[in-house]
C-alpha cells in the first residue's frame, strides 16, 4: 500500500473500523490511515487496536501503528545515579492533579523543534478523555511550579504513554520514574512508548514486533487493575520501591 492508497476515515462515522495494523506502510513506518475526527470513541477504539494519532497542525489526522513498537516494562525501569540524585531535590510528585497543565506543557515549542504535534484539537480531546477517567497524568512540582510531567491513556493493565516534558533538568525522567513505580505497584503489564528512541532505551525501554505488541495488547487491555489505581491522593514511597526493584533483579 502506498501513500495514495491510504484509507480515509469518515469523520461522520466514529465507530467505523480501522484497517488492520498489519496494513500500515513500511515507509513512513506505521502510517495506517488518514482523516476522521478526534472523538473520544474514535481515539479509544484506535488505542484498543494498537493505533494512535500523530500529526502536525497543518496536516489531516494521521493514524499510526509502527513496527517495531517501543515498550517499557514498569519493573525494568533503569534508575541511573544521576536520576537518584534528582529524587533528593525535594520535588513533589502527584498524579491527575493538573492534566491540562501537563498536556499544554507538552505542546510548548522545544529547543530542538519549532513546532508541536500536540494540537489544540488534541488537547481538547485528551482533556475530555481525562474527564472520562481514560487519560492520566503524572506531575512534578518545584514548590508550586510545574517542572515536569507525562500523560497517556490507560487500557486495562496497559498504559500508552503519549508525551512528556521538562521545564527543569530531569523533570520528565522523574515523571516517568514515578509512572513506572505506580504502574508496577498496581500490577500493570507494560508501558507502550510507541516509537522506540535511544532516550527511552537508556531507561529500560526496548523494541518488540508489532505482532507481539498486538498480542500483549489483547491480553491486557481488558484486564482489571488494582482498586486504588488512579484514585488521586494515593502515595508511593519511591525509595522503598527502588529497594524492592533491586531485590527482584
* 208-217 confidence digits (pLDDT tens): 999 999 999 9
Alpha-carbon torsion angle 2, 206, 208, 103, nearest 10: -60
* 33-86 confidence digits (pLDDT tens): 999 999 999 999 999 999 999 999 889 999 999 999 999 999 999 998 889 899
- The class (CATH top level) of 7-66 is alpha beta
Q: For residue 62, which of 104, 103, 8, 26 has the smallest C-alpha distance?
A: 8
The answer regarding whether domain 70-248 maps to CATH 3.40.630.70 reads yes
Please say if the pLDDT value at position 114 is more than 50. no
Facing residues of 137 across strands?
151
> What is the number of residues in the chain?
249
pLDDT value of position 234: 80
Residue 142 near residue 116 (C-beta atoms within 8 A): no
Mean pLDDT, residues 118-144: 97
Alpha-carbon torsion angle 91, 95, 96, 98, nearest 10: 10
Please say if the pLDDT value at position 219 is more than 60. yes
End-to-end CA distance of the chain: 44
Facing residues of 112 across strands?
none
Q: For residue 93, which of 14, 172, 199 has the smallest C-alpha distance?
A: 172
Residue 55, burial from CB neighbour count under 10 angstroms (0-12, 13-18, 19+): middle
Whether 7-66 and 70-248 share one fold: the answer is no
What 3-state DSSP class applies to 211?
helix
Give pTM, 2 decimals. Answer: 0.94
Please say if the pLDDT value at position 2 is more than 60. no
CA atoms within 13 A on the CB side of 194: 18
Calpha distance 25→222 (Å, rounded): 28
Max Cα–Cα distance, the chain, nearest Å = 53
Domain ranges of the chain: 7-66, 70-248
Amino acid at each position: 500500500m502506498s501513500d495514495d492508497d491510504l484509507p480515509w476515515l469518515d469523520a461522520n462515522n466514529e465507530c467505523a473500523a480501522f484497517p488492520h495494523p498489519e496494513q500500515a506502510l513500511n515507509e513512513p513506518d506505521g502510517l495506517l490511515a488518514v482523516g476522521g475526527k478526534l472523538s473520544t470513541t474514535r481515539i479509544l477504539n484506535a488505542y484498543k487496536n494498537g493505533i494512535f494519532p500523530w500529526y502536525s497542525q497543518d496536516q489531516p489526522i494521521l493514524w499510526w501503528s509502527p513496527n517495531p513498537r517501543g515498550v517499557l516494562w514498569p519493573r525494568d525501569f533503569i534508575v541511573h545515579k544521576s536520576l537518584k540524585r534528582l529524587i533528593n531535590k525535594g520535588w513533589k510528585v502527584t498524579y491527575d492533579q493538573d492534566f491540562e497543565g501537563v498536556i499544554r506543557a507538552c505542546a510548548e515549542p522545544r529547543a530542538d523543534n519549532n513546532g508541536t504535534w500536540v494540537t489544540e484539537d488534541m488537547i481538547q480531546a485528551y482533556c475530555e478523555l481525562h474527564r472520562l477517567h481514560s487519560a492520566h497524568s503524572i506531575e512534578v512540582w518545584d514548590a508550586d511550579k510545574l517542572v515536569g510531567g507525562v500523560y497517556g491513556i490507560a487500557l486495562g493493565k496497559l498504559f500508552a504513554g503519549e508525551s512528556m516534558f521538562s521545564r527543569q533538568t530531569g523533570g520528565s525522567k522523574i515523571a516517568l520514574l514515578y509512572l513506572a513505580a505506580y504502574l508496577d505497584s498496581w500490577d500493570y503489564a507494560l508501558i507502550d512508548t510507541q516509537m522506540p528512541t535511544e532516550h527511552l532505551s537508556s531507561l529500560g525501554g526496548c523494541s518488540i514486533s508489532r505482532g507481539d505488541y498486538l498480542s500483549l495488547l489483547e491480553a491486557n487491555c481488558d484486564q482489571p487493575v488494582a482498586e486504588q489505581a488512579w484514585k488521586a491522593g494515593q502515595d508511593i514511597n519511591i525509595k522503598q520501591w527502588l529497594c524492592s526493584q533491586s531485590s527482584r533483579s
